[in-house]
Amino acid sequence: MQAVKYARAESVEEAVSLLQDGGAGARPLAGGTDVIVQARERTRDIDLFVDIKHIAEVVAIEHGNDGSLTIGAATPCYEIYGDDSIAEKFPILVDSTSLIGGTAIQGRASLGGNLCNSSPAADGIPSLIVLEAQVEIAGPNGRRTVAVEDFCTGPGQNVLDSGEFVVKLHFPAPAAGSGARFIRFIPRNEMDIAVTNAATQLRLDGDGNVTWARISVGAVAPTPLLVADAAAAIVGQPLSEDSIAAAAAASSAAANPITDMRGSIRQRVHLAGVLTERTIRQAAERAA
């Protein structure tokens, strides 16, 4: 591990200022479950950690009167899956946050951190994508908001500029008849990185027609994908074996993976379809 400095920011403005002054070697620190390991293993050059998890709005969970939700970027996973209202209205966030790392990691790890680590295999991001999350970013020029599907730009890369960090994530209220599900495939039953993962949110009307859907697959491209063709394959009709198969085929077609120690190209292309199918079926169960 290289020698690092640590600074605790008390406000968003102080954090931005510390990050700006720190330059390229400065890094926001939330739970640290990725960045501390990266510093220790010298896979990322870090000489200053700016701790953002003592800023109130960065660790807050707020439920809007309209059913919307705001989660501070550094809010640890266990607080998210332990929130009864989230479990009721946004169970897909429980899917994701309860399988990122083990119990000890979940005490520190956050959705904001998972997003900013920008791994193609991140288990938080597909759920954020299908929930239409908006990412609120603070920086030297004030605040801006980015749609989550536009946030990652490549493996370990994202839209954050120098001095910027993610403050919070905004989720619109799910419309009536909505259901969402996230699943990942790993060779074991815990403690693993997704070979492929997928999330679906869909909306059913009273007649069982799918009126709206978003489908995302991960670990099959440089960034988690929003697969519009997969959603289009099921919208406007009741779910059927044919429509689900068409959505699965669309996800497989959208997949552009690599072969590595976690999976092969054709395994991941195949799993993109399998997991799309499974998330559609299980999202529909939650919608019903």
What is the footprint of other proteins within residues 254-273 (CB under 8 A)? 260-264, 266-267, 270-271
What is the SS3 assignment for 20-79?
HHHHHHEEEECCCCCHHHHHHCCCCCCCEEEECCCCHHHCCEEECCCCCEEEECCCEHHH
The H-assigned helical ranges of 70-168 are: 77-81, 84-89, 91-97, 103-106, 111-117, 125-130
The reply to whether 8 sits near other proteins by the rule CB under 8 A is no
Smallest gap, in angstroms, from Cβ of residue 107 to other proteins? 19
The reply to whether 193 sits near other proteins by the rule CB under 8 A is yes
Pairwise CA distance, residues 110 & 127, whole Å = 14
Closer of 53 and 278 to other proteins (Cβ)? 278
Question: Are 254 and 268 contacting, i.e. CB atoms less than 8 angstroms apart?
Answer: no
Residue 82: which of 59, 106, 102, 58 has the closest Cα?
106
Angle between helices 265-287 and 241-254 (to 10 degrees): 140
Closer of 155 and 172 to other proteins (Cβ)? 155
Contact pick of 56, 104, 175, 191 for other proteins (by CB under 8 A): 191
The reply to whether 84 sits near other proteins by the rule CB under 8 A is no
Smallest gap, in angstroms, from Cβ of residue 105 to other proteins? 12
The reply to whether 207 sits near other proteins by the rule CB under 8 A is no
The reply to whether 6 sits near other proteins by the rule CB under 8 A is no
The reply to whether 11 sits near other proteins by the rule CB under 8 A is no
The reply to whether 1 sits near other proteins by the rule CB under 8 A is yes
What is the footprint of other proteins within residues 169-188 (CB under 8 A)? 185, 187-188
DSSP 146: E
What is the footprint of other proteins within residues 22-61 (CB under 8 A)? 42
Question: Are 155 and 118 contacting, i.e. CB atoms less than 8 angstroms apart?
Answer: yes
Residue 36: which of 117, 136, 112, 123 has the closest Cα?
117
Smallest gap, in angstroms, from Cβ of residue 188 to other proteins? 5
Closer of 65 and 189 to other proteins (Cβ)? 189
Contact pick of 66, 84, 190, 241 for other proteins (by CB under 8 A): 190
Smallest gap, in angstroms, from Cβ of residue 118 to other proteins? 18
Q: How many amino acids of this chain bind other proteins (CB under 8 A)?
A: 23
The reply to whether 245 sits near other proteins by the rule CB under 8 A is no
Question: ∠ CA(43), CA(46), CA(49), 5° rounding?
Answer: 130
List residues near other proteins by CB under 8 A: 1-3, 42, 185, 187-193, 195, 260-264, 266-267, 270-271, 274
